[in-house]
Amino acid sequence: MKMPDSLISFANALLRQPSPSGEEGAVVELIVSEMRRLGFDRVWIDENGSAIGILDGAQPGPTLLLDGHCDTVGIPPGIEWTHDPFGGEVDGDAIYGRGAADMKGALAAMIQGAASVDRSRLCGRVAVSATVMEESLEGASLRTAMEAVRPDFVLIGEATDLNLNRGGRGRAEIHLETVGRPAHSSTPQLGRNAVHDMISVVRVIERLPARRDPLLGDTVFALTDIISDPYPACSIIPTRCRATYDRRLITGETPSEVLGMITASPELSGVNLHAQIAAAEYRTYTGKILKGPKFLSAWILPETDFLVQACLKGLRSAGLKPKIGAYRFCTNAAYSAGVAGVPTVGFGPGREEDAHTVDERLDLRALIAAKRGYCGIIEAALSGKRGTLS
């Protein structure tokens, strides 16, 4: 299959440069260099280390921000890949490497797609941000980029399998701690075992009924870690036990409501339980500290919204046949839509289930189609014909 050399080469270059969260500097330099090569009007690196580029249309109008994160998760030790995770290898109809689907392929298509649009026909401007640290704290770097760009619309390039997402689940990280009473392990009845109490907490959580949204799907509670204290212990009943739950949210859920589902259970009335939303603090490669609660809101944009309809029109004009859906995982849209209230959609190549996998891959035909799709979206959203999309 004949492929566009420039797009594949750029995706390959991004994949060959490791960029785990907090170490994105080198890949940001590649992105900045490409934006300048393609003729972006303004390009800079913000205080967090994210790359931002601006393309001005010929006429005034709204600002559309296309965002993709340039950090990736790491490579778990002891699990072998059949393709070099930092090789950017093309094998058959796919390109392989950490970040291929999540989401360096989308970034490559987004940047080149935006640059290929005929700006003489645009009313407004296009901004593209390659944000850092998304895998650690969704939305934190996008917030800074949005403060600089002031977009009227946001498009998140996370994987949608070339469909259009108009919503996404949020997530909360919940820290739980049970406190017991110490005793010698030869006389456990004299103490109170914090692990046994945590088992009771886990049983309560695992029996909680899921809530359902027709677009976003079900809420989820997932136990992600648990540890007792002291650890390791020697002949002593554990006096503390800590556990973490990941909660996938639907719209309308609040921190107090989510914590109350657990703490208000009458089954735990005798348990000394502390529950709180985790607080995050991360240092970017520039030294900037990003922090905030790990409660990231779910969001939904109405199907009748201008942005949804413009994107559908643009994608169809690019020869695609998008279905409307929603993200099951959390994205930077938790800030743009969930906090800032800016109309946001998602469109990108790859599937959600391809993210973070061994031998992560992206179909090259989807990569090429995504570039066309971004062009179509930009042209439709910035056509100057708002309200006349039919």
∠ CA 122-126-129, nearest 5°, is: 170
- The pairing of strands 42-45 and 51-56 is antiparallel
Mean pLDDT for 109-118 is 98
**36 pLDDT higher than 80:** yes
Number of H helices, E strands in the chain: 9, 21
Supply the pLDDT for residue 368.
Answer: 97
- The predicted-structure confidence for 238-283, as pLDDT tens digits, reads as follows 999 999 999 999 999 999 999 999 999 999 999 999 999 999 999 9
- The predicted-structure confidence for 45-63, as pLDDT tens digits, reads as follows 999 999 999 999 999 999 9
- The predicted-structure confidence for 287-340, as pLDDT tens digits, reads as follows 999 999 999 999 999 999 999 999 999 999 999 999 999 999 999 999 999 999
Mean pLDDT for 159-168 is 98
> Mean pLDDT over all residues of the chain?
96
CA distance 6 to 354: 24
Band of pLDDT at residue 4, cut at 50, 70 and 90:
low
Q: Which two tokens stand for residue 71?
A: 């950090």
Band of pLDDT at residue 389, cut at 50, 70 and 90:
low
Supply the pLDDT for residue 385.
Answer: 75
Which CATH fold would you assign to the domain 170-283? Alpha-Beta Plaits (3.30.70)
- Are 61 and 123 within 8 A, CB to CB? yes
**104 pLDDT higher than 90:** yes
Buried b (16+ CB within 10 A) or exposed e, 305-340: bbbbbbbbbbbeebebebebbbbebbbbbbbbbbbb
From start to end of 150-278, where are the E strands? 153-156, 164-168, 170-179, 212-213, 217-218, 220-229, 240-249, 273-277
- Are 168 and 250 within 8 A, CB to CB? no
Supply the pLDDT for residue 1.
Answer: 46
Which regions of the chain carry the CATH code 3.40.630.10? 5-168+298-381
CA distance 307 to 301: 9
Which regions of the chain carry the CATH code 3.30.70.360? 170-283
Supply the pLDDT for residue 390.
Answer: 44
Q: What is the pTM of this model?
A: 0.93
Out of 3.90.950.20, 3.30.450.20, 3.40.630.10, 3.40.190.10, the CATH code matching 5-168+298-381 is 3.40.630.10
3-state secondary structure of 379: helix
Supply the pLDDT for residue 387.
Answer: 53
**67 pLDDT higher than 50:** yes
**40 pLDDT higher than 60:** yes
